[in-house]
Amino acid sequence: MTKMIDKKYIEGVGRRKTAVARVRITPSTKGEVTVNDQSLKTYFVTPVLQDMAVASATLTEMNGALTITVKVNGGGITSQAAAVRMGLARALAKWKPELRTPLKTAKYLSRDARMKERRKFGLKKARKSPQWSKR
């Protein structure tokens, strides 16, 4: 347990649809959040996405006690925010094991496995078939 605290940062990986977020938390009093070398408010423009991204830190009341650095790619902006939330939750659970219980009850540690279904041969989309014509 003490080996992880000796490190400069703790890392967690979060995924949602095709978005992958690599989250690093550093214990400090600055409380800055950067996403792809931009501030949180610049990258996630709407307040809903900003709240979703840092929901794990807000739940555990660690919002101002950490410097959070995120590298995220793939997917859309909403799935990226959900991936950041999961990566942050995993990093927090690794940093302080007692935070695992509230994060698990809020379902921030479980992967949302819903993905877009692949297109099948002979169909227009995954399940939509071409228009049927009698003659």
Where residue 91 sits, what CATH number does that domain have?
3.30.230.10
Q: Is position 132 within any domain?
A: no
Domains held by the chain: number: 1
Q: Is position 69 within any domain?
A: yes
| pLDDT given for residue 64 in this prediction | 82
DSSP reduced 3-state for 6: helix
Q: Is position 118 within any domain?
A: no
Q: Is position 28 within any domain?
A: yes
Range of the domain at 8: 2-105
Among 4, 23, 2, which residue's Cα sits nearest to residue 12?
A: 23
pTM for the model stands at 0.86
Q: Is position 115 within any domain?
A: no
Digit-coded pLDDT (tens) for 70-101: 999 999 999 999 999 999 999 999 999 999 99
The sheet with strand 10-16 has its strands ordered as 10-16, 19-27, 66-73, 33-35, 38-39
